[in-house]
Amino acid sequence: MTPGTTPLSRGARTDVTFLSGGVNCAAWFYPAVGASPAPVVVMGHGIGGTKDSGLDPYARALQAAGFAVFAFDYRGFGESAGTPRQHVCMHDQISDYDAACAAAARQPGVDPAAIVLWGVSQSGGHVFDVASRRSDIAAVIAVVPMVNGPAAARHALPLHTPRSLLRSTTTGWRSSARQLMGKSPATIPIVAQPGGFGALTAPGYYEAATALAGPSWRNEIDATIGTQLAAYRPGRHAKLITAPVLVQIADLDQAAPPHAAAKAAFAARAEVRHYPCDHFDVFAGVAGNNWFHRCAAHQVDFLRRRLGA
């Protein structure tokens, strides 16, 4: 039995730990309900997100449809170990995805030759990178993916005031200086009210994110996130992916530019689904949301057709 697990039961969810870069990362394993071995969906969250903040409803929907699911926290976030806390390193997070795939393939009742990558928002970009390098990926699902950091910055620029942009920039410089001295990062809020100080300030984003928040989520992130995003362009890997891809685009998305997602989807020869909603509206539990069930149903349909499951 994998360290950190408890005995499996039908429809259960178990705690799992796995190593990535020498760090213990936390995950939830959902064994497939039905025949085994089953394909396994490896699921990661977006910027500052944790597995207990909106991933469980998707995992449950896929589990009920006959798929196993492995949802994990990146090092430094949620229930995973690692320091500095709340620091985003794109390279490390992509390495965490690779390690999560290996751990998922070792779980009981899983078909190691049928790994599905599932990402949302920032992790929706990570899956393009991971899938482009691996030959053992059976399918890819990218939900409201952020595939171009510079485009995302330009897209969000009108939502920030000059004062908040200056404050974010100076806090980022201070965070870099602190880490060079071996100190913890300086942080900014992940979500804030419109016109406020934070990474995401679109109307309704603070309410949506806090409604989804699980006990391990913290509304703060290393202020150097801006420099990470500046060089982040996973969409350029799309043309190298050989596995079938589903891209789900929120046409009113104020966080992940829909046009960039559509361009990457075209390069990946992906199936594309469009939804007339904003970024957080694809999650269950957001007030007024009626898009989660459609998104989940489209994912199940895609996997059944593409994997013959």
Decide if pLDDT at 243 tops 70.
yes
Q: Where are the alpha helices (DSSP H) in 88-148?
A: 90-105, 122-133
The pLDDT score that the predictor gives to residue 31 is 96
Residue 166: its pLDDT value, please?
61
Q: Which residue has the higher pLDDT, 227 or 42?
A: 42
CATH topology of domain 14-157+229-307: Rossmann fold (3.40.50)
CA-based nearest residue to 15, from 61, 63, 80: 80
pLDDT single digits (tens) 191-227: 999 988 888 899 999 999 999 999 999 999 988 877 8
* Cα-Cα end-to-end distance for the chain: 26
Closest CA to 145 of 246, 33, 57, 62: 246
Query: Mean pLDDT, the chain, as a whole number?
Result: 89
**Per residue in 59-71, pLDDT tens?**
999 999 999 999 9
Instruction: Using DSSP, state whether 132 is helix, strand or coil.
Output: helix
Alpha helices in 106-232 (DSSP H): 122-133, 149-156, 162-180, 205-212, 225-230
Question: How would residue 117 be classed by pLDDT, with cut points 50, 70 and 90?
Answer: very high
Q: Where are the domains of the chain?
A: 14-157+229-307
What is the per-residue pLDDT for 161?
Answer: 67
pLDDT above 70 for 77: yes
- The region of weakest confidence among 81-95, 125-139, 156-170, 176-190 is 156-170
